[in-house]
Structure 1
Amino acid sequence: MRNWRARTAAIAVVSALALVTACSSENEDEGSGGSSGGTSGGDSGSPASELSGSLAGAGASSQDAAQQAWMAGFQDANPDVTVTYDPAGSGAGREQFIAGGVAFAGSDAYLDEEELAAANERCGGEVVELPIYVSPIAVIFNLPGVESLNLSAETIAGIFNQQITTWNDDAIAADNPEVELPDTAITPVNRADDSGTTENFTDYLAAVAPDAWPHEASDVWPVEGGEAAQGTSGVVQAVTSGEGTIGYADASQASGLGTVHVGVGDQFTEYSPEAAAAVLEVSERAEGRGEHDFAFDLARETTEAGTYPIVLVSYGLACAAYDDAATADLVQGYFNYILSPEGQQAAADTAGSAPLSADLSQQFQAAVDAIGSAA
């Protein structure tokens, strides 16, 4: 189960509301009509081409590459629509969405109880929360001459808790007997900003290696010292520019660095989209949420072969009802494209994410179909 940390209650409007400039008169008359939002099943065909206007979102930087692919594909099918996405981070995205500053958001962690209540209030009803982006979190390092290492959960935790401080430590050497390890000092690199990637990574450590990681899951890095960097790109840059550095980042941005094969059961598993998706398939939906809220408690402790448990499940946040019918149509149309096979494949090709299974997509489609207008 996920460990919760109380987040700051103060929320400021930091971005202008997504403005919709125009829609067809037929759609305005229909109010909640999903006809212009794309047909059920994520079809981005001719009905979606009637859409026009502007739609703004913000949130997880891990989604940035996928969002760029989704925006390009959706806008290609809907040339009169402009979609923007500010990769300001999960915490900022949730704050902006709850404050009404953006029409949709991306978050690498599902809403906690306090945030969920605030989001439902903003929406005037139920929030829609869907896993739209599934990707492994790669443990990346920069150690000249070493491209990959086997590390158990306890060893990873010991490194990031700064209890294992050199690369030739016995715990690392034991799982890598054929690797010549230097006595180089280890420099852990963590996110400086509130981060859903951090929360997913620390959730894994707390669940699988509690003795070596005596901290709760948190989107704020809990260990003092080391090196901190802003955003996913900042962590990757800090690891790349150092020597003996180690960090964690969405696998889509791990190219060119050494990566860790993670201990799962009695095997070591290399990250891959398929291995990440396998974890979601064996996880259970969180209890006590709304009908259109698909938050999952991830099975971090799984020992099933072929699974990679350091996985990031990044959510799309929307309202089931918007005050403005045109905004509802645009959000529904965009989320239809994201869930479609075409949209999921575009993200996979661009960001290396795992396409949702047909079964999961079908479950989530009902929530997208419910997006409409309160007018």
Structure 2
Amino acid sequence: MKIKRHGALISLMAAGALALTACGSDQNTPQSGGNAGAPAPTNTAPVDCGGKKSLVAEGSSAQKGAMEVFTQAYGAKCAGQQLAYTSSGSGNGIKQFNGGIADIGGSDSPLKEGDETTKAQERCKGNPAWNLPLVFGPVAVAYKLEGATDVTLTPDVLAKIFSGAIKTWDDAAITAANGGKALPAKPIVVIYRGDESGTTDNFQQYLGAAAASSWTKGAGKKFNGGVGQGAQGSPGVADAIAAADGTIGYVEWSFAQDKKLSMAKLDSGSGGVALTGETAANAIKEAKVKGSGNDLQLDLKALYASKTANSYPLVLATYEIVCSKGYDADTAKAVKAFLTVAATDAQAGLADAGYSPLPQEFQDKLLTAIKAIA
């Protein structure tokens, strides 16, 4: 998975989020590249192996590479134990978890209050499900526009592009965002995730927070803009953007890098900011944990609306969704063992897979939650 180029970012972002709180898809992922390097966690924990021999997990593509590392470490630590992960998208991950098919659901956004949480509680035999974030990563606004290699967009302009109010690259609002420099007079082709996706949910939440007056379409895992062409999964979005001139879409940074796509700078009020590890890490400091107890879901609204200089606020978190209680005894034992290995022993292998180890304080919070699963 070619996300090593921002491996250090994940650790910095998670560390920033947790420090301030004191104590969210498809079958393919890019190939590995270089790693910026992050220190391995020092925390370890005893693992009570056993229980269900073959766990089932499904969901977000953003965590697919990490899940492969976790599964390998789990098998090595607990002989004969396995986990099968299907990267089918966040929406499917939640559906399969709530339907009792997946033991663990993977999503780029936490369970939504209402139908999702109600079904999750029913699945967990009347007990709440917990959202446990394991990976943080930025979302690129990627584009292909011959004759333009440096594009700056404001949240207001983005909202109007993705709702169809701005239709051409030489629109006056885009020209103004680029300091009076007109871009080529070509039609804008919006590319969006055709499948239900936490990436879409986060992107629409960002537009709603940063451009509330221009984005009235709401959020959710289904794209609500009413314009453009849908593509399946992150690879499909990246491929569609790369295939045609005039395209623009939202996709995880790793996929934009893998396809060598141009990425727009975001101007939230302090000038255009390019997506880098440093600028995304600067932005994540605005995030806060809003979940109670061992439910560690994040409130990213303040981050998305931030106007902090030299920060890139469009980021998402990937969650593992699990039952706090309600598994049968064998499944609960195996889920706890897998997550414990993932949060400890497996961390040493994340750098080579393109991720960074969890920061110590967040690892501690995860272990507390994992131990409480019954």
Please report the TM-score for the alignment, with normalisation by the length of structure 1.
0.78
Matched-pair contact (CA < 8 Å) for 2:52–2:331: no
When the two chains are superposed, the root-mean-square deviation of aligned CA atoms in Å is: 2.8
- 1:350 alignment partner in structure 2: 353
- Secondary structure of the corresponding residue to residue 85 of structure 1: strand
Maintained 8 Å contact 1:135/1:273: no
Q: Label 1:265 to 1:195 Cα distance change in 2 as closer, same or farther (>3 A).
A: same
The answer to whether the 8 A contact 1:74-1:334 is kept is yes
What's the secondary structure of 1:66's corresponding residue?
helix
Q: Secondary structure at the match of 1:238?
A: helix
1:132 aligns with 2:143: no
Please point out which of 305, 313, 319 is paired with 1:309. Answer: 313
Map of 1:100 onto structure 2: 100
Supply the distance in 2 between the matched residues of 1:41 and 1:367 (Cα, whole angstroms): 18
Q: Partners in 1 of 2:341 and 2:275 — Cα distance?
A: 27
Aligned to 2:200, the other structure's residue is in SS state helix
Moved more, 80-89 or 141-150: 141-150
> Percentage identity across aligned positions?
31
Partner of 1:113 in structure 2? 113
Q: Summarize the alignment of residues 208-357 of structure 1 with structure 2, pairs less than 5 Å apart.
A: 208-255=210-257, 256-286=260-290, 290-298=292-300, 299=302, 300-340=304-344, 342-343=346-347, 346-347=349-350, 349-351=352-354, 356-357=358-359
Whether the aligned pair in 1 keeps the contact of 2:174 and 2:182 (CA below 8 Å) is no
Q: 5 Å matches for 1:50-199? A: 53-114=53-114, 115-124=116-125, 125-144=127-146, 146-177=148-179, 181-199=183-201
Moved more, 256-265 or 326-335: 326-335
Larger Rg: 1
Q: Which amino acid is 2:117 matched to? A: L
Which letter does structure 2 place at the counterpart of 1:319?
C
Match of 2:29 in 1: none
Structure 1 stretches lacking a partner, 5+ long? 1-39
- C-alpha separation between the residues in 2 aligned to 1:84 and 1:368? 19
Q: Number of aligned residue pairs: give it.
A: 328
Q: Secondary structure at the match of 1:254?
A: helix
Alpha-carbon distance in 1 for matches of 2:147, 2:70:
37
Higher alpha-carbon deviation: 141-150 or 92-101: 141-150
Shift of the alpha carbon at 1:205? Answer: 0.4
Cα offset, 1:311, TM superposition:
0.9
**Alpha-carbon spacing, 1:229–1:348, altered in 2? closer, same or farther (3 Å):** farther
- The alpha-carbon deviation at position 285 of structure 1 amounts to 2.7
How far apart in 1 are the matches of 2:320 and 2:79? 23
Post-superposition shift, 1:51?
A: 7.7
Which residue of the partner structure matches residue 361 of structure 2? 359
Counterpart selection for 2:373 from 368, 371, 374: 371
From the superposition, tell whether residues 204 and 245 of structure 1 become closer, same or farther in structure 2 (CA, over 3 Å). same
Aligned 8 A contact 2:147 2:184 in 1: no
Distance 1:121 1:186, change over 3 A: same
Q: Which has the higher contact order (CA 8 A, sep 6+)?
A: 2
Find the aligned partners of 1:55 and 1:277 in 2 and give their Cα distance.
34
Q: Find the residue that maps to 1:193 and give its secondary structure.
A: coil
C-alpha separation in 2, matches of 1:68 and 1:147: 36
Deviation at 1:274, TM superposition (A): 4.8
- Which ranges in structure 2 are unaligned for 5 or more consecutive residues? 1-40
Q: Which residue in 1 is equivalent to 2:44?
A: 43
